[in-house]
Structure 1
């Protein structure tokens, strides 16, 4: 894929899970904050030797964007010897931050950059709670406490 290719778009959690399960080169990047990883949990991939990359897009408590996000992620990918044309799936709480991260990485990565649209916890339900209508946890996909 060309570095000038457009953002690959949004996918639902089951599409992302299927792609991650079937393609050993595909990478899942969780861009939530360290506090979210610690208190809410992190996704788990079904192959024991594969880790989810944890790279913050924003920093708690001021929630400012990391200006060096792309550089930090590229370093992580290089350290793990990820092929430069591998697909990357970006995940956050509900799909907003991860979409920004995927768009940011698109011109810097040869492979497609996808956003996992409903994220780890999903959208708010009618009672203003998450994990009840969509998202990684609601779909019953594997996760653990950090």
Structure 2
């Protein structure tokens, strides 16, 4: 494993809301933030939003680490990366670790989690765990 490890959404929420040195970083796209929703945390725990893949073409954000630093993510902070289902966030945690940031954790299940038998994202993830979020 080339990052610090995996945590559940509840573990990430507890860590971020109990420490000013922990940062939740949502690496989904602008479209996902706008139309699906975002974690809703009060200051000073508000999430940082940096796309891992650019919308709309899906290209990898070549300035990801620089964008993190520009958003105020500094050395020594504990980082929790969140995407839709816990895949892009692994790549983001690996990139942050390689750049000397972190420790960096992947949030398992992501914001929406995997599909259920009907093709809906109702199985697990940040939203299903009942953690604070808002839409629109």
What is the CA distance between 1:6 and its match in structure 2? 4.1
> What count of residue pairs does the alignment treat as equivalent?
136
Match of 1:68 among 63, 66, 79: 63
User: Could you tell me which residue of structure 1 aligns to residue 15 of structure 2?
Assistant: 19
Give the structure-1-normalised TM-score: 0.87
- TM-align CA RMSD: 1.6
User: Could you tell me which residue of structure 2 aligns to residue 102 of structure 1?
Assistant: 93
Give the structure-2-normalised TM-score: 0.93
C-alpha distance in structure 2 between counterparts of 1:48 and 1:67, whole Å: 29
C-alpha distance in structure 2 between counterparts of 1:39 and 1:9, whole Å: 29
C-alpha distance in structure 2 between counterparts of 1:67 and 1:34, whole Å: 16
Q: Where does structure 1 lack aligned partners over 5 or more consecutive residues?
A: none
What is the CA distance between 1:50 and its match in structure 2? 2.9
- SS in structure 2 at match of 1:65: coil
- SS in structure 1 at match of 2:92: helix
